[in-house]
Amino acid sequence: MTTMPMPTLTRPPLARMPRISYQQVNRLGGILAFLLGCYRQEGPIFRFRMPGSSEVVTVMAGLEANLFMNRQGGHHLSASAFRLEQNRAYGASKTLVSLDGVEHQELRRRQQFGYSRQILERQVGRAIALTVEAAQQFRSDEPLPAHDFLTKLVAEQIGSLFLDYSPGEHTDDLAYFLRTVVQTTLMRTEPMSQLESERFLVARQRSWDLAEAMLAARRESTPADRNLLD
């Protein structure tokens, strides 16, 4: 019996990280430029070594990665271990992005009544009105702080369109809470001790207060349609 030799598999190319710390690259927004440059030069799969560490990160990027994730990701990849610390920081045991397979599909099915592209399409007029209202706060001859503007706009749109409740004065605390969790547990650009800082604890409590207010308002209302809280 003749057996065919196994093909020799080559590892993805190892890209060179810039000569500055990972924290500096991220804060300057340079990590996105770095990854985009690697994608253009090395292709959809490449690796890079974390500065000051022996850890090597493998990256899948671009259209090819999206197609793979949509068609085969559920069979080959799992997010549960990667998202474990993030869930703990949120005070949750399960989140949509941390579930795989049947559980992910079931939770996504439940959420589609309140959070989907179709719902947004039905409320495009409201979304545009919120955008115009927010933009009218700025003069045409003044610079627009895009990050802060978009953070507040998206928070207002999600709250008003999908939850029937504006985050209002809680927006800054909510954004800081979510951003800090991502930076500490996923991106690793901030130390885990940030999750114990006074500013974070205050922002987290304010976010919980907002959630409680949303739920209370929903219970007291008689809505005609379901939303994400249902």
For residue range 22-77, list pLDDT tens digits in order: 555 555 556 777 888 889 999 999 998 876 778 888 999 999 898 988 888 878 88
Task: Enter the pTM of the model.
Answer: 0.75
CB 159 within 8 A of CB 134: no
Contacts 24+ apart (CB under 8 A), 38-41: 41/15
Greater confidence, 222 or 22? 222
pLDDT digits (tens, 9 = 90+) for 122-159: 999 999 999 999 999 888 888 888 888 999 999 999 99
**Helices marked H in 2-145 — which ranges?**
22-27, 30-42, 62-71, 73-76, 84-90, 101-111, 117-122, 124-135
123 CB neighbour count, 10 Å cutoff: 16
Q: Using only C-alpha atoms, what is the Rg of the chain?
A: 22
What is the three-class DSSP state of 59?
strand
Q: What percent of the chain has pLDDT over 70?
A: 90
Angle subtended by helix axes 146-162 and 171-185, to nearest 10? 110
Say what the pLDDT of residue 30 is: 65
**Helices marked H in 43-83 — which ranges?**
62-71, 73-76
**Cα 28 off chain centre by:** 19
